Amino acid sequence: MSLFRDTEIVCPVCATQVDFKLVDSVNADRRPDLRQAILDGTFQQIDCPSCKSVFRLDPEFNYLDVGRGQWIAAQPVVGAADWKAHEDAARDLFALAYGERAEALAKEVGALLKPRLVFGWPALREKVLAAGNGLDDIAVEACKATAMRNSADLPISGDADLRLVDAKDDKLVFAWVNPADNTTGDMLALPRSLHDEIVADEDGDWYDFKSDFDGALYVDLNRVLVDQPA
Ligand SMILES: [Zn+2]
């Protein structure tokens, strides 16, 4: 089931109170339109009736797509600084809903799901896009690591993340995306064959990289890049 609750949002531009249905959970199997809105970048967009400003709240909901094997805890961007605590909470939540602490029927569904944790819309869209194109998300992160290692002139800036933004023909398209406002900077493309090689690599060059994500819900390069308090 997809769940929403009625709330009032204050327009950040003109301070008008806007009635809004805030999402608690999305079931993409039953509501493919909501999945599409996530891909289109319009989900949970608020149009102020007074000043016509368009804005979007950070995501804070659970996303389920049994058909594509996805369960995602989507959290606001600010949580990424404290990803470990959020990962523990998401792991508990999944265990209760679909994992070892769930009832038998839910557990059967859970066996089909990869639990994940993301922060912000670009990261959520990336996971939805990857699964929709039959891509392995750990291999997608490995592709990004390759791109960052091989390109000396990439704008590795503190306020943008490299995100998969498109997959077409035999190319994976990545862009530097600012998670705070979803603006997109420089783009680059990698051959899909690189992804396929990484998936097929069982014990070669990619073994250590993949091992970093064993049992992880937060499958994101920032897992390796953002230190957590001990
Ligand atoms: Zn307004």
Residues 6+ apart with CB under 8 A from 178: 159, 160, 184, 185
Q: Where are the domains of the chain?
A: 58-225
Q: How far is the CA of 75 from the centre of ligand 1 (A)?
A: 25
Query: Cα(81) to centroid of ligand 1, in Å?
Result: 30
Query: What is the structure's pLDDT at 88?
Result: 97
- The pLDDT assigned to 65 comes to 98
Give 9 Cα–ligand 1 centroid separation in angstroms: 10
pTM of the model: 0.94
Half-sphere exposure of 108 (CA within 13 A, CB side): 2
For residue 12, report the distance from its CA to the centre of ligand 1, in Å: 7
53: CA distance to ligand 1 center in Å? Answer: 5
Distance 156 CA to ligand 1 centre (A): 34
Contact between residue 34 and residue 63 where contact means Cβ atoms under 8 Å apart: no
Q: What is the 42 CA–ligand 1 centroid distance (Å)?
A: 17
Edge-to-edge strand order for the sheet containing 171-177?
A: 161-168, 171-177, 184-191
Q: How far is the CA of 8 from the centre of ligand 1 (A)?
A: 13
Report how far ligand 1's centroid is from the alpha carbon of 228 (Å).
38
In the reported structure, the alpha carbon of residue 49 is separated from the centroid of ligand 1 by a whole-number distance in angstroms of: 7
Closest CA relative to residue 122, chosen from 106, 144, 103? 144
What distance in angstroms lies between residue 45's CA and the mean position of ligand 1's atoms?
13
pLDDT at residue 78, as a whole number: 93
What angle separates helix 121-132 from helix 137-150, to the nearest 10 degrees? 110
Res 182: pLDDT: 85
DSSP string covering 107-157:
HHHHTT-EEEEEESHHHHHHHHHHHHTT--HHHHHHHHHHHHHH-TT----
Alpha carbon of 57 to ligand 1 centroid (Å): 14
* Per-block mean pLDDT, blocks of 10 residues, the chain (230 long): 92 95 97 97 95 94 98 96 96 97 96 97 98 97 90 66 94 93 90 96 87 95 77
Tell me how far the alpha carbon of residue 63 lies from the centroid of ligand 1, in angstroms. 29
